[in-house]
Every structure is written in C-alpha cells, then in structure tokens.
Amino acid sequence: MGRHHFPLFTRLIALIALLALGSSRQAQADDNSSDSTVESPTISSGGAPTEVTVKGHEESSRITSVKPPIDIHVDPFQSIRSTIKPKQSLLLAISPNMSSWRHTHPEFLMAQRVIKPWSSAFSAGSGIVFHVRKELDKAIGHSLSPKKARQYAWKLSIVNDQGRVFQKYGGPDNPPKETVWSGESQTGGYVKAGESYSPVYTFIDPNGSPHTIVGKPIIFKGTIHQEADGRHLELNSTILFGPRRAETEIQAPEGTNLLQSAADFIKRFFPNYPLRVQAFAATDSLAHSQAEAVKTALLKELMLPASDLSTDAAEAPFSHQRVVIVISNP
C-alpha cells in the first residue's frame, strides 16, 4: 500500500509545481502585453515582411501604489475679499464721484470759514521795487557803463491819478540799481485801494539835458496799514462792485475772491478782533448798501458775532470810493 501511494503523492506535488510555473509565465506575459502592443508582421505579396510597429502605453494608466499629492486650493484673502472689492461705480467711464471736483474733497474744505491761502490777494513783501538803472538805459536808448551812469542826476516821482506827486526819490548822481517804495506818501499817508499810481523817471545827463520816461501805472486791489484807531484793510470798490462802483451786491468771481482774501487775513492774524466796515460811494445810501453787503459776507466767512461787526458809510468822489475794514486795536 505504501509503495502505490508514495508515487501518487509525488505526482501531486509535481502537478502543483507545474501549475504555479504556468501561472507565473502567464502573469509575465500579461505584464509585457500591458506595457506595449506589438502588431504582428504581415507578409506582403512580394514575400517580404512589412514594418513592425511597437506602441507603448502611458505610464499614468498603470496601477501604482504611490499616492498622488493632495492639491487643495486655498484663498488667503477669503475673509477680507468682500472688503477689498473695488466699487464698480469708480470703474465707469464717467464716475459719479468725478462729475464735480467738489465731490473729491471733504465737505469741511468747502466751508466758507476755511482759510484758502492760494487765493490771497495780499503780498507779504515789504514794498514795491523800482529798477532805476534799467529805466536809465531805456531813457538814453542804450546801455551805459557803470562809470558813465554815475554821472547822471536822477529823480523818481510817484504820481497819483490826479497828477499830484505822492512820493519822490532822487540824487545828484549815481542812480541806484533799485529803489523800494513802501507805499507811504511824503506826508506820511498811504496808498489808497483803487487809485492809480505811476512812476515818472527823470535823468539829467552831464550836459544838462533831461531824459524822462513814464513807467506802467500801479493799481492796488487791496492795501493794509496801521492807523491810530487800528489796522486798516482797504479794498478796491471797482473789483467789489463793478467798474462804475455802483452795484449793491459783491461781484463774482473777482469781488468774492478779494473779500475772501481779506477774510483769510483776518482769520490768520486777528481772528477775534471787533471790526468796522466803512464804505465810500457816490451817494450816502449807496455807501450804506455796500457796507451792509460786505458785512453780510464777512459774517459768513468769520466766526464773529454780529455785535462785533459794525458799519459806517460816507459819500466820496469816484477816485476815493473804496471799502475799508478797520480791525480795532485790542
């Protein structure tokens, strides 16, 4: 019995080994077939085999045990995305915010009581400069050397619109390069806003012959000077009330800009001082109306109670018609 069963057991083991070997070869063949596809050659009519094509599969189609990287898209600005989104109205061809320049400024900048230094009509200079030596060359007709120029006597007369000498300078020789006029007259008075002042240059050569030249007239929009009762801020009535100085309302834009400059000066240097508005016009009633118009405008511009702003009026010839704001002494 043992002799017949032993060969049977041996046969079973051999059969299992053959089956395992066959399975291994079949798996290898399957792997080879998955990597590439080989098209079997065909025989042409001439007896020669045709071209053999080998096609490989993409690597990504193969099953692998390596896990792909995790790709998670995260918006770092997700929590503030809604706040940084631009306003669509700003991207329009004509934005509502740009339809007027006033919309681009805060409201308080448009208030009348805010100082606007860029529109000031008053200069911080110490006086008006007259170039005497240059005018000498113009009067002679050619440029003189410093040595010859010193031989000329000179006189500078500043004449008002009535033909009267308001101020004068001069010397027997050596005309200066420049002369500064402070706006004061020979008698200690000051220029008046709205009046015209013309420089007249007279030069006497070594032979005694005079040479005269008249400069461009000067008209002041406004002037500031100290008087006994306070600081006087004078304004040109032609700019405030028109060429005839007969209007009762302040003319825009020149008149309003001039009054704005005067108000800015008061805001900067005399913010809480009592004021008195004096108007000089063709008639007393017109002067009163003009004074009230200036007072109303100043109350809008200044942070000043109405009780600290008084008015006064007087009749005056055309050349003396003006508006004076008196800043009372403390």
Three-state secondary structure along 131-185?
Answer: CHHHHHHHHHCCCCCHHHHCCCEEEEEEEECCCCEEEEEEECCCCCCCEEECCEC
| Proportion of the chain above pLDDT 70, given as a percent | 69
Three-state secondary structure call for residue 305: coil
Q: Which of 188, 219, 250 is the last residue of a domain?
A: 219
Look at residue 16 and tell me whether its pLDDT is greater than 80. no
Digit-coded pLDDT (tens) for 151-169: 999 999 999 988 999 999 9
38: in domain? no
Please give the pLDDT value at position 51: 61
Please check whether residues 139 and 205 belong to one and the same domain: yes
Please give the pLDDT value at position 91: 65
Please check whether residues 173 and 159 belong to one and the same domain: yes
252: in domain? yes
Look at residue 128 and tell me whether its pLDDT is greater than 50. yes
Instruction: Choose from 124-128, 178-182, 275-279, 317-321 the range with maximum mean pLDDT.
Output: 275-279
Look at residue 47 and tell me whether its pLDDT is greater than 60. no
Please give the pLDDT value at position 79: 83
266: in domain? yes
Q: Report the CATH number that the domain containing residue 187 is assigned in CATH.
A: 2.60.40
Dist CA 102 CA 294 (whole Å): 26
Please check whether residues 231 and 322 belong to one and the same domain: yes
Of residues 93 and 300, more confidence is placed in 300
43: in domain? no
Cis peptide leading into residue 206 (ω within 30°): no
Please check whether residues 162 and 232 belong to one and the same domain: no
Please check whether residues 210 and 292 belong to one and the same domain: no
State how many domains the chain has. 2
Please check whether residues 287 and 306 belong to one and the same domain: yes
Please give the pLDDT value at position 161: 87
Question: Confidence band (pLDDT; 50, 70, 90) for 206?
Answer: very high
Please check whether residues 272 and 248 belong to one and the same domain: yes
122: in domain? no
Mean pLDDT, all residues of the chain: 80
Q: Which of 174, 197, 219 is the last residue of a domain?
A: 219
286: in domain? yes
Closest CA to 245 of 195, 201, 176: 195
Look at residue 34 and tell me whether its pLDDT is greater than 50. no
The residue type of 123 is S
242: in domain? yes
List the domain range (segments joined by +) for residue 144. Answer: 128-219
Of residues 76 and 263, more confidence is placed in 263
Candidate from 8-17, 91-100, 163-172 with smallest mean pLDDT: 91-100
